[in-house]
Structure 1
Amino acid sequence: MARVTEKIEARGHPNIKANHKTTFEFTKDDFVTVKGDCILAVKASKAAVDLSLSFKRLASSELARIIFIIEVDGIIELAVGRGSRSLTFTDETAIVSRKSNYVCPKTVMINSNKAAKDFDRVFIEHLRNHDAKVNITMIVES
């Protein structure tokens, strides 16, 4: 079994709502409006386009399993989903995970077991701290 890991650093923001029913997102933008209800963190060190070629290749398979490990203030949340040959990894500002199998340039994982609303609310409270450091590990296996 092949495995590739990506590490991303991001920050929290007071406007994080995390109540979207089908997606979650990390953005390179340094802000989030109250309408950005899928965003979990800002100032991300990578967007979809920045992921390594080896990650993209492995994730571009229907057999790929993708795991997000998201940590803030010692609290860890996991999300698990799938890759797809339809993933393009071309967006320059964000990374999105979806419960559905819909794909756009931001999408890096489909058929996720979680959307923003599914994350623990204590975890989300910590993400609302502007100074919070968010560590994201993405693992793809196939």
Structure 2
Amino acid sequence: MQEVIHARGHENVSAEHTSTFEVTTDDYLTPAGDCILAIDADRSPADFDPEFVEACQTQGSRITFTIEADGYSDSVTGLGHPSLEFTNDRSMVGRTSDYVDDRTIMLAAPFAAEGFDRDLVAALAEGAEVTVTLEVDA
């Protein structure tokens, strides 16, 4: 089961954060947003199909976040959890920790923004069109 989000990069994408990565519906990005990979997303967690959300809330589920831009692609797989809410209408955040809030889309990711392919990050910083695919294996 999957959800597809379309967004775009921005000149301030640096992908340097060590514990989170984020995609936001906001249409701007300041240099302080070092976890943000893409902006102007056409969907947020609050828009996701209830069946997808339920699958992500299954203990032991695995969630894969794949981001593609300008011919580059990278993926990270983390864990779902019954506490995941998927209610935020603005942004989605993957975490290396077990912290949960309404933006959290996965826990225990093996890397955060700083771990994404640097050629992909360069394309994001050039403002490339982005496709994000979230896939859950419950």
What corresponds to 2:135 in structure 1? 139
CA deviation vs aligned residue, 1:96-118 (integer Å, no higher than 9, x gap)? 00000100100011011220001
Quote the Cα distance in structure 2 between the aligned partners of 1:91 and 1:35. 21
TM-score with structure 1 setting the length: 0.95
Q: How far off is 1:121 after superposition? A: 1.4
Quote the Cα distance in structure 1 between the aligned partners of 2:68 and 2:45. 19
Q: How far off is 1:56 after superposition? A: 0.3
What corresponds to 1:110 in structure 2? 107
Sequence identity (%): 40
Structure 1 unpaired stretches of 5+: none
CA deviation vs aligned residue, 1:18-52 (integer Å, no higher than 9, x gap)? 10000000000001100001000001111111111
What corresponds to 1:9 in structure 2? 6
Q: How far off is 1:62 after superposition? A: 1.8
SS of structure 2 residue aligned to 1:33: coil
What corresponds to 1:35 in structure 2? 32
What corresponds to 1:46 in structure 2? 43
Quote the Cα distance in structure 1 between the aligned partners of 2:2 and 2:122. 27
What corresponds to 1:57 in structure 2? 54
Quote the Cα distance in structure 1 between the aligned partners of 2:136 and 2:51. 10
Quote the Cα distance in structure 1 between the aligned partners of 2:101 and 2:55. 18
Is 1:99 aligned with 2:90? no
Quote the Cα distance in structure 2 between the aligned partners of 1:39 and 1:12. 9
**Contact 1:48 1:91 (8 Å CA) reproduced:** yes
The RMSD of aligned alpha carbons is 0.8
Is 1:21 aligned with 2:26? no
TM-score with structure 2 setting the length: 0.97
What corresponds to 2:67 in structure 1? 70
Q: What is the identity, as a one-letter code, of the residue corresponding to 2:119?
A: V
Q: What is the identity, as a one-letter code, of the residue corresponding to 1:43?
A: D
Count of residue correspondences: 138
Q: How far off is 1:129 after superposition? A: 1.5
Quote the Cα distance in structure 2 between the aligned partners of 1:100 and 1:61. 18
Runs of 4+ in 1 over 4 A off after TM superposition: none
